[in-house]
Amino acid sequence: MLNPESRELFGDALRPPEDFELDQAIATTYSLDLTAMLLAPLSFARLDGYEPAPSPGQAPAEKVDPFALLKSLRGHAERITVFCQAGQIHVPSHYQRLYAYLESSVVPVVPASKLGVFHPKMWALRFVDPDGALRYRLLCLSRNLTFDSSWDTVLTLDGELNQDRTRAHAKNHPLANFFAALPSLAVNPVSDTIKRRVERISDELRRVEFELPLGFDELEFNPIGIPGHTRSPFPDGRPSSRLVVSPFVSDKTLADLPGARGTLVSRLDELDRLKPETLALFDRVMVLADGADQPEQQAESEVAPSEWRPPPVGLHAKLFVFDEGWNSTVWSGSANATTAAFSQNVEFLVSMSGKKSRVGTEPILEAMQPLLVEFRGKGRVDATLTVQEHLEAVMRETRCLLARTQWTARAERVDGERFSLSLETRLLPTLPADVLVKVFPATLQDLTARPLAGALTFSPCSFEALTPFFVFEAVARAGDEELVERFVASAPLVGAPENRLARVLDDLLSDPVKVLRFLQLLLADTPSEVLGALEQAASEPLAPNVSAGSGGAESPLLESMLRALATQPAKLASIARLVDDLAKTQGGSTRLPPSFLEAWKPIHDARTELNGSQE
């Protein structure tokens, strides 16, 4: 349940079941790393095994093959919708043009409570097989869609949708209600496409029979902070023992939890802020041992590249375990043991019940024991905020105000390939005193930053600089101290040329060699064929004069197209789409060798005729 290989396990959790493919996905997260979102489709396309291991300190996406990423993005990015807390998108170290594929998939949201945040980490994955059978996978996590390397929890629930069933499972209503409520939390109106996706998935989730994890007999879904689900999910009884694992804690919530005594596991700095009487409510108070927080690594020369993983940093798991009689109940998900989590935020917990001997406080503590040491602190008697804590509170208020502002990005052509890019809002928020905010497009350098105003215009901008993602830099000051934070906000982009995605493709497929290599990837039948094509291309790049027509029937590309026509004609749609996309850009069609077009035309005509005969 707590494992430093969390990133690898998360990729495993996204991978479709055997013989199934991803059809649609809805995810929720508090914070979002755009590069992490780029890599998620690699798992859906079963390409994550090709990602070379990063060197220490290197961003994980920098060594991902761009063609593998482009293949997975074209096939899967448009099927994914991510709802994230507005104002919590990380500023990328390097802006990638592939982010353009994510623009319509990111939906900034805020909770109904003006003091709260949108904090759940849920995934609903809809898989389909060639016969039309449907399976769902539900992920309930404590981790966000970022590269944070912490000790986290991942709960995976699989289930089959009985398409003949018309009545819902009553226990699934809270789960479906949670996903159905997401569009209503959006800062800006969501598209009809996203509305239909949410309606379909929330409706079908009511009729999915989820398989219980090993060791558990019952489960319940516990959304918090949406209409009809605003109360704490914990029972009013007095459990005989309890275990609370939470990176963030507050005195009131810990005092209000059912039961007495038990064990509390949290972060050192959080425990130092608690009152002594709060700490006294528990028999044992624990923190991560130094060796657990930063495990020893072998010398770099002794570690194979595929085995290297960044060390886990800090506790991020959230667990509430209560023993009562012979049974225990475990709550896992996004909620910390804080007042905000249970009275202001949107959160999600899944509760599971089973025998105390298997899933109770003692077995879980025993599994965690090598990671933990006793907390030796005494808590804090003086509740006065430090200057740093005051600045953090001011920054939270600033983020909240900016997050709830409805921004619009507007592009206008100045002349030729030059544009003006504006960020506008009808109502500028009133920020706390001693806070300064600057803004600039994520595609430009911070030298272009402008002080926050009702309308900001950046001009001239290149075509490549057009983006809905803007970086906000907030500086809060108190005396001689200051706190600086940066984050990305997403705004609907109005007025951009319709062929923006085609232009991204144009850059990545800039010559016939790259185009032919990508065509081979599109037609790969199995993950192993994709990986083989990538590895072969990396070691033996195609010669400029290689084409689909050269070599006749011996040509791998022609052979792949003919095999697809005979066995999987639907796969040729990706080829047709690529040819059409290239035709939309100046010079794009010239990157398709004439011999390829000669081979493609009769295959395309045969595919069209075949489709017509099947209608």
Domain count, the chain: 4
pLDDT of residue 581: 82
Are residues 479 and 599 part of one domain? no
Residue type, 24: Q
Are residues 347 and 403 part of one domain? no
CATH number reported for the structural domain that contains residue 403 in this entry: 2.60.40
Q: What is the arithmetic mean of pLDDT over 466-483? A: 94
pLDDT at 283: 95
Task: Indicate whether 394 belongs to any domain.
Answer: yes
Residue 56 covered by a domain: yes
Label residues 436-450 b or e (16+ Cβ within 10 Å = b). Answer: ebbbbbbbbeeebbe
Average pLDDT over residues 173-184: 97
Give the alpha-carbon dihedral of 438, 439, 443, 444, to 10 degrees: -50
Do 432 and 520 have their domain in common? no
CB–CB of 137/127 below 8 Å?
A: yes
**Per-residue pLDDT, 555:** 65
User: Does the residue 231 lie in any domain?
Assistant: no
Whether residues 11 and 133 share a domain: the answer is: yes
Please say which residue of 470, 497, 524 terminates a domain. 497
Q: Are residues 533 and 391 part of one domain? A: no
The reply to whether 454 and 548 lie within a common domain is: no
Final residue before a domain boundary, out of 497, 526, 557 = 497
pLDDT tens per residue across span 595-609: 888 889 899 888 888
pLDDT at 520: 81
What sign for the dihedral angle of Cα 79, 80, 83, 85? negative
Which among 213-217, 235-239, 538-542, 580-584 has the top mean pLDDT?
Answer: 213-217
**Same-domain check for residues 200 and 79:** yes
Span 261-290, mean pLDDT? 92
Asked if residue 117 lies in contact with residue 196, where contact means CB atoms within 8 angstroms, the answer is no
Half-sphere exposure of 564 (CA within 13 A, CB side): 26
Q: How do residues 143-168 score in pLDDT, each as one tens digit?
A: 999 888 788 899 999 999 988 888 88
Give the amino acid at 540: E
- Specify whether 532 is located in the same domain as 399: no
Indicate if 90 and 182 belong to the same structural domain. yes
Q: In this model, does residue 614 exceed pLDDT 90? A: no
Question: Could you tell me the two tokens for 362?
Answer: 């003692």
pLDDT at 63 over 70: no
Is-contact 207 161, C-beta < 8 A?
yes
Asked if 264 contacts 285 with a C-beta cutoff of 8 angstroms, the reply is: yes
In a domain, 281, yes or no: yes
Find all residues with CB under 8 Å of 558, minimum gap 6, and list them. Answer: 548, 549, 551, 552, 599
In this model, does residue 449 exceed pLDDT 70?
yes
Q: What is the CATH number of the domain that holds 167?
A: 3.30.870.10
Q: Are 60 and 309 in contact (CB under 8 A)?
A: no
Least confident residue range of 39-53, 277-291, 547-561:
547-561
Provide the residue range defining the domain that includes 320. Answer: 241-295+312-374
Of 501 and 350, more confident:
350
**Higher-confidence residue: 57 or 36?**
36
Q: What is the pLDDT of residue 26?
A: 97
Q: Which of 76-80, 514-518, 530-534, 573-577 has the lowest mean pLDDT?
A: 530-534
Count, residues in the chain: 615
pLDDT above 90 (res 303)? no
- The C-alpha atoms of residue 195 and residue 280 are separated, in whole angstroms, by 49
Whole-number Å distance between alpha carbons of 191 and 103: 12
**Cα–Cα nearest to 40, from 77, 67, 95:** 77
CA 564 to chain centre: 33
What would the mean pLDDT of 400-416 be, rounded to a whole number?
93
In a domain, 382, yes or no: no
* Separation of alpha carbons 610 and 601, rounded Å: 14
Asked which of 346, 374, 402 is the last residue of a domain, the reply is 374
Which residues, at least 6 apart from 228, have a Cβ–Cβ distance to it below 8 Å? 177
d(CA 239, CA 351): 15
pLDDT at 9: 64
- Type of residue numbered 614: Q
The whole-number pLDDT of residue 530 equals 66
Q: Are residues 525 and 454 in the same domain?
A: no
> What proportion of the chain, given as a percentage, has pLDDT over 90?
51
Q: Angle at the Cα of 129 (from 581 to 215), degrees rounded to 5?
A: 125
405 and 475 assigned to the same domain: yes
List pLDDT tens digits, range 359-388: 999 999 998 888 899 999 988 877 778 899
Inside any domain, residue 205 = yes
473 and 555 assigned to the same domain: no
Confidence class for position 615, pLDDT limits 50, 70, 90: very low
pLDDT tens column, 311-347: 446 889 999 999 999 999 999 999 999 999 999 999 9
| 307 domain-assigned | no
Does residue 602 belong to any structural domain of this protein? yes
State the pTM of this model: 0.86
